[in-house]
Amino acid sequence: MSEDKSFDFGAEIDTDYVGQKSMVVDDIRDTMNYIEDITRKLGNTLSSKSYYIEDAGCPHKQSSLPKGYEAVYIFAYRSETKYEYECLKIGKANANSNARFTSQHYGFSAPSTLAKSICKDDEFRQMGITRENVKEWMLNNLYRINIFISADQGKAATELVEAVLHYKFRPRYEGSI
């Protein structure tokens, strides 16, 4: 796991916030264990040796897709009024889609991006989020978790992980689910 840079450990810690963050990652780990079980029963196992979970935290930095891996990525938001995380976006990037994984969701160049969805959302517009500041806001306020899956597992494994996570978390910006 990456170091959590969102806390000043010399200050008083909001234990509810810390607990909510660990619950999100723990929930994803539990879901991945379930996926391992499903794939084992189906005869084409996705084992814990073929993937790893990266807790990029909040704030987070943009990172590159590791060579030889595909990814499922999750963006979650904790509003000051709800005090719990809401999943905004779950997506996938194949081994040749580094731009999709690294940068496209923070801008407006691709047909469907998280930045576009946030800028169209009344809740976020009322917070003053605009095209000009959405990338910085996302990096500073969204919690990101990446699940890196060995590319030799094939596209079906990545799509299964994405589908199960969609089903479980019901992201706000997945209108076709």
Judge contact between 68 and 151, C-beta under 8 A.
Answer: yes
Please state, in angstroms and rounded to a whole number, the distance separating the CA atoms of residues 155 and 92: 10
3-state secondary structure the chain: CCCCCCCCCCCCCCHHHHHHHHHHHHHHHHHHHHHHHHHHHHCCCCCHHHEEEEEEECCCCCCCCCCCEEEEEEEEEECCCCCCEEEEEEEEECCCCHHHHHCHHHCCCCCCCHHHHHHHCHHHHCCCCCCCCHHHHHHHHEEEEEEEEEHHHCHHHHHHHHHHHHHHHCCCCCCCC
Instruction: Work out the mean pLDDT of the chain and round it to a whole number.
Output: 86
- In this predicted structure, the answer to whether residue 70 has a pLDDT above a threshold of 90 is yes
What pTM does this model have? 0.84
* Dihedral angle computed from the Cα positions of residues 79, 84, 89 and 91, in that order, rounded to the nearest 10 degrees: 140
Q: What's the rounded mean pLDDT across residues 28-44?
A: 95
Instruction: State the pLDDT at residue 174.
Output: 83
Tell me how crowded residue 133 is: count the other CB atoms within 10 A of its CB: 12
Two structure tokens written together for 10: 């010399």
Please state, in angstroms and rounded to a whole number, the distance separating the CA atoms of residues 96 and 110: 16
Q: Which amino acid is at 177?
A: I
Q: What's the rounded mean pLDDT across residues 57-68?
A: 95
The share of the chain scoring above pLDDT 90, in percent, equals 76
Angle (deg, nearest 10), helices 155-169 and 15-42? 130
Q: Find the length of the chain.
A: 177
Q: What's the rounded mean pLDDT across residues 142-164?
A: 97
- In this predicted structure, the answer to whether residue 176 has a pLDDT above a threshold of 90 is no
